[in-house]
Structure 1
Amino acid sequence: MVFRGRPSKACQRCRTRRLKCDYRRDSCTPCLRAAVVCHGYRDPQEIRIEDQTDDARRKVLVKSKHVSLTESSLSVSIDIQARMIFFAHYVSVGSRGWDFLVPWERETEVVPRWLDASIDAVSLALLAHQHVSLPLLSLARQRYALALRVMKQSLSSPPTAGDSLIAASLLLDLFEKITHSEASVIQFWPSHVNGTLALIQKIGVQNFQDHYALRIISRFLTNYVISCVASAHAVSKDVLILCDHLERHLNLKDNPKWKISALTIQYASFLSAVRTGRWSLQESMARAQDLDQALLVLSQNIPPDWQPERRTLRYPLPHVYGQQMDLYLDRLVTQAWNVLRQVRIQLNEYLLDCYDKLSAIHGVNQLAASEVALSNIAALSLEIYASIPQYASYVCRSKRSQGEADGIGLSIVPQKGCDKVHTPSELLDCYTLLFPMYVAARSKAATVDQRQWVSYMFRYISDHFGIRNALLLAQLLDQNTDIDPWCIYAMLGGYGFAA
């Protein structure tokens, strides 16, 4: 440490210009005369001593002939790497559907043991999925078992922090979706979310009031409704109470996505009734037609900023079907639209099956009604195809979407064949397209040309974005395999990757 004498108390401008500063509190006289801002005065005690430790160290090292300066690299543990990737994909950069974890990510709140263990488990599961690593998957399962034990202990004497318990429960459900992609597991999906529902009821919905707590409930409702649709189970009345709670506190009554979710809940009840044989064939058809009409009316009344902007290309491009493409506000709007289209396609396919049954049983000619249903499916499929180029092709990617991607510093997967890399957000953009693409290409109205184009796009997405499941879908499509769409959804990881 070196004493450098008594420093000047003058303001910056007076020191630079060697003016006589009178140290007035608000502004010195020279600054007032010049009509400039006076930036105040330094504290002499803070600048009287200069730290020359680094200078001294450097001089010693230069004199030493046998010491070489080399940069040391710090190895980051696999747990930290996994957490970084998880938070990038789900919290801060990618889907942001789990943004309620932000307080614990930034450590503004103490992370409870059960939540910490759950984050470890799901983070390692995601990393194991990305690298197809059995050792990582084994480690993830060990952390999952630990998280379950800690959760069980916390439930025996519930703490006051109910938010973290629900978040941990949702993370363990996410672990199941990432690690179990077999079609047979769909029947167990409701049991997972019902466990979370029981926990919410035990804590009391009235205790979920702040922003992050309501985001947790929103995440749960999304998972629950999807589970009910995929497994053909009706939505519980207790969940409808949660919906009312969320709608009141977040003012969602006029939100287009919320309206689509409400009709999706009706669709889950419809599937449950069909599965259990509650209605006659004629009543089931009437219910399907009413629900399809309600979805059509909703699509016609969605606000302008949610409406896609249609572009017709002058010249054909390989990633644009029929030279027609739509540009959307963002991925979430695109995803909501495609959910609406998927439900309508499956309702109209159900109606086609009913028309065939009526013709076979009663000999009733349903040709006109069948043509209407086929026309609906064909139009909805074309809209799905038009939503693909914005996210799957950089030639057609909208300025808004590309700008959002370029503004993110984290890149994960390099593009094969060029030096372009993809962010978690860009990967999710494409992943959310896979299921609606498959539903449209496997529909009864799909042409050979459309199936070939979708198969080509699956292969392109697999090669260009490194999404392995896209190649598997291309192979299933080429083999003309008749698999229930929701089995495909489970194979894709369900809402573990794309909700």
Structure 2
Amino acid sequence: MVFRGRPSKACERCRERRLLCDQQRPNCSSCIRMGVACTGYRDTTTLRISDQTDFVRSKAMARINIAQTRQYIAPTKIRHLPQDLQILGRDMFFTYYVSDFSRTWDFLLQYLDSPGTPEHITLGIEAVSLAFLSNQVSSQTAKDLGRRKYCEALRKINIALQDPKTAMATSTFEGALLLDLFEKIVKSPSDINTSRHAHVEGALALVKLRGVETFKEGSEMRALMGLSLNVTVCSLSTGRAIDDVVRQIREHAAQFVDTDYPKWKLSGLMLEVTDLAAETRKGTMSSEERVRKSVEIDQKLAAVALNASPAWTYERKFISGHHNLQNIVPDGFPIYDVYPNRMITQMWNVLRLTRILLCEEIVESCVTSSDPDSDQQSDRAKLTIVDMIQEICASVPQMTNCEFAAKHKLPSGSTGSQHTHTMPHVLDVYILIFTLYVVAWCRNCPATAYEWTVKQLHNIADHFGIKEAAAILDILRKQELEDRVDPWVAFNVYESVMMWKRTPEQLQLPKWLASTSETAL
């Protein structure tokens, strides 16, 4: 949303004809001369606010195209490489992430080309944009520059925190979110067990200081809900119970959202899952208690799935006789599903993988349970696991199978196995990685589904060039020799934002950018 200035006082006829309106009462002189009724004059205290999302996207894409042209017109621009990297990274970040992948970050649109932007926000955006660009083309130059910007932003936000007034400002909270995003982007897969959540905790502290009730509907509220999700994931990966302020955030947000929407219900149940995981890690619950609580939450998730339509409707496709059927779907399961968009696909799969994790806990706890019904509970859980795995597998071909179900996602004119992928297509594939890890991690996964899932992860790593898939495969290989890694700990690998390695040619960026690219980290 962008402030467009105060409206003109002129009457409607004068505004349409771009005439100077003398604003006489009761009718202006121009209308009197023409013998027409004067509509009167507007209230000048009204603000003009317009949605600039499409404009921002087209503007950023135009900049990228201009940068491509400049490499042919003025190759000597290389001496200004850091500045060019900054512009490219910023435009790519706003185009592909802020305006496409995550609405949580649309609060940044107000800072696009705004001269009044606080310095720590400007530096934070620059740091995140450079880190984002670095991970697209493995540019060490962009990464190093991004780290310097990050350090400067950190210094500026620490100064802001010294003043009670600026500490409570919205921009300070937003700055903390940007610092956390930078940490996620630059995080290496080797940091799986050393993930830091300092900026998430810092942003949460600022929310407590400011008061949840002060956050307003719109982009500010979406940023707050994004933090709530971040805190939930951090709690799951560290084994801690949910902070009370997260529930306060939900209570406040309930005034502005549709609480009957499946996504809202699912996010609420994830808080229960998080608290159960924290209790389980303490080791104070009996087997019977773990089974009972897991079954209760699983039944609630099943109810969300049952009542999800029409908000989460998708189309089921049956296939048979295809010459390469085993590569499209797991053996014995000749179907795939087509979802309206990436978000709905992801929400369904989050629900399914959560049910898998709960049912795995049920099966494991039933082994030591003295409940006479434990065998039946275990059998039901195993059936649910297989059902959820089949549903997850059915969601994959629409994204990954470029020769069949995902062929429509390829750029026009693509032929054969040699083709490129658009950034939105890669994003579609990216959201599948963690879900596929949970399928392969599951002890009760059928062998055919496990083999097919591993092949899909290899395809995502090799064909789409997404390095998180390779990192997840590495974790799975280690688990064959060592103990299994908790899925929410493994999520720290996947949690980083769009860290796949892409070449400048794949992204259609200037060729000179290739000179700044290093081997993938």
User: What interval of TM-score do these two structures reach, taking the shorter chain for normalisation?
Assistant: 0.7 to 0.9
Task: Output aligned runs, 1:268-307, within 5 Å.
Answer: 268-307=274-313
**Alignment partner, residue 55 of structure 2:** none
Summarize the Cα distance change of 1:231–1:479 in structure 2 as closer, same or farther, 3 Å threshold: closer
Matched position secondary structure for 2:336: strand
Summarize the Cα distance change of 1:239–1:497 in structure 2 as closer, same or farther, 3 Å threshold: farther
Summarize the Cα distance change of 1:161–1:194 in structure 2 as closer, same or farther, 3 Å threshold: closer
**Alignment partner, residue 65 of structure 2:** none
- Which is further off, 429-438 or 197-206? 197-206
2:490 to 485, 488, 491: 488
Deviation at 1:444, TM superposition (A): 1.7
Matched position secondary structure for 1:172: helix
**Alignment partner, residue 467 of structure 2:** 468
Unpaired runs of 5+ residues, structure 2, are: 1-29, 32-71, 501-521
Matched position secondary structure for 1:394: coil
1:121 to 94, 113, 127: 127
In structure 1, distance between residues paired with 2:161 and 2:360: 45
In structure 2, distance between residues paired with 1:457 and 1:146: 41
Contact between 1:345 and 1:377, CA under 8 Å: does it hold in 2?
Answer: yes
Task: Output aligned runs, 1:7-156, within 5 Å.
Answer: 71-73=73-75, 74=77, 77-105=84-112, 107=113, 110-156=116-162
User: TM-score, with normalisation over the residues of structure 1?
Assistant: 0.76
**Alignment partner, residue 418 of structure 1:** 418
In structure 1, distance between residues paired with 2:120 and 2:169: 11
1:241 to 241, 245, 248: 248
Contact between 2:439 and 2:445, CA under 8 Å: does it hold in 1?
Answer: yes
Task: Output aligned runs, 1:93-492, within 5 Å.
Answer: 93-105=100-112, 107=113, 110-157=116-163, 158-159=165-166, 162-180=169-187, 181=189, 182-186=191-195, 188-189=196-197, 191-249=198-256, 251-316=257-322, 317=325, 318-321=327-330, 322-358=333-369, 366-397=374-405, 402=409, 417-423=417-423, 425-477=424-476, 481=480, 482-492=484-494
Q: Deviations over 1:71-95 (max 9, x none)?
A: 4355562111221222233212334
Deviation at 1:175, TM superposition (A): 1.5
Summarize the Cα distance change of 1:479–1:312 in structure 2 as closer, same or farther, 3 Å threshold: farther
Deviation at 1:216, TM superposition (A): 1.4
Deviation at 1:398, TM superposition (A): 6.8
**Alignment partner, residue 41 of structure 1:** none
Contact between 2:130 and 2:143, CA under 8 Å: does it hold in 1?
Answer: yes
Deviation at 1:374, TM superposition (A): 1.1
In structure 1, distance between residues paired with 2:116 and 2:405: 41
Summarize the Cα distance change of 1:308–1:417 in structure 2 as closer, same or farther, 3 Å threshold: closer
Q: Deviations over 1:463-499 (max 9, x none)?
A: 322212223333544565332222321122356779x
In structure 2, distance between residues paired with 1:310 and 1:278: 44
In structure 2, distance between residues paired with 1:235 and 1:285: 21
Contact between 1:90 and 1:99, CA under 8 Å: does it hold in 2?
Answer: no
In structure 1, distance between residues paired with 2:446 and 2:88: 45
Aligned CA-pair RMSD: 2.9
Contact between 1:166 and 1:216, CA under 8 Å: does it hold in 2?
Answer: no
Summarize the Cα distance change of 1:366–1:254 in structure 2 as closer, same or farther, 3 Å threshold: closer
Deviation at 1:301, TM superposition (A): 1.0
In structure 2, distance between residues paired with 1:335 and 1:174: 20
In structure 2, distance between residues paired with 1:307 and 1:86: 30
- Which is further off, 339-348 or 131-140? 131-140
Summarize the Cα distance change of 1:275–1:161 in structure 2 as closer, same or farther, 3 Å threshold: closer
Deviation at 1:434, TM superposition (A): 0.4
In structure 1, distance between residues paired with 2:336 and 2:459: 17
Task: Write the letter of the residue equivalent to 2:422.
Answer: H
Q: Deviations over 1:226-268 (max 9, x none)?
A: 212222222122221111111202x231111010000001111
Summarize the Cα distance change of 1:474–1:276 in structure 2 as closer, same or farther, 3 Å threshold: closer
Contact between 1:415 and 1:466, CA under 8 Å: does it hold in 2?
Answer: no
In structure 1, distance between residues paired with 2:387 and 2:434: 17
Higher relative contact order (CA 8 A, sep 6+): 2
Identity %: 29
Deviation at 1:130, TM superposition (A): 2.9
Summarize the Cα distance change of 1:161–1:112 in structure 2 as closer, same or farther, 3 Å threshold: farther
In structure 2, distance between residues paired with 1:418 and 1:161: 53
Matched position secondary structure for 2:432: helix
Deviation at 1:387, TM superposition (A): 0.6
Q: How many residues align structurally?
A: 414
Task: Write the letter of the residue equivalent to 1:102.
Answer: L
Task: Write the letter of the residue equivalent to 1:346.
Answer: L
Matched position secondary structure for 1:421: coil
User: TM-score, with normalisation over the residues of structure 2?
Assistant: 0.73
Contact between 1:308 and 1:327, CA under 8 Å: does it hold in 2?
Answer: yes
- Which is further off, 287-296 or 271-280? 271-280
Query: Which has the greater radius of gyration?
Result: 1
Summarize the Cα distance change of 1:265–1:365 in structure 2 as closer, same or farther, 3 Å threshold: closer
Deviation at 1:296, TM superposition (A): 0.9
Deviation at 1:396, TM superposition (A): 4.5
Deviation at 1:378, TM superposition (A): 0.8
Summarize the Cα distance change of 1:472–1:415 in structure 2 as closer, same or farther, 3 Å threshold: farther
Summarize the Cα distance change of 1:260–1:84 in structure 2 as closer, same or farther, 3 Å threshold: same
In structure 1, distance between residues paired with 2:178 and 2:392: 30
Matched position secondary structure for 1:159: helix
Unpaired runs of 5+ residues, structure 1, are: 1-24, 27-69, 408-413
Deviation at 1:270, TM superposition (A): 0.8
In structure 1, distance between residues paired with 2:301 and 2:101: 29
Matched position secondary structure for 2:367: helix
Task: Write the letter of the residue equivalent to 2:349.
Answer: N
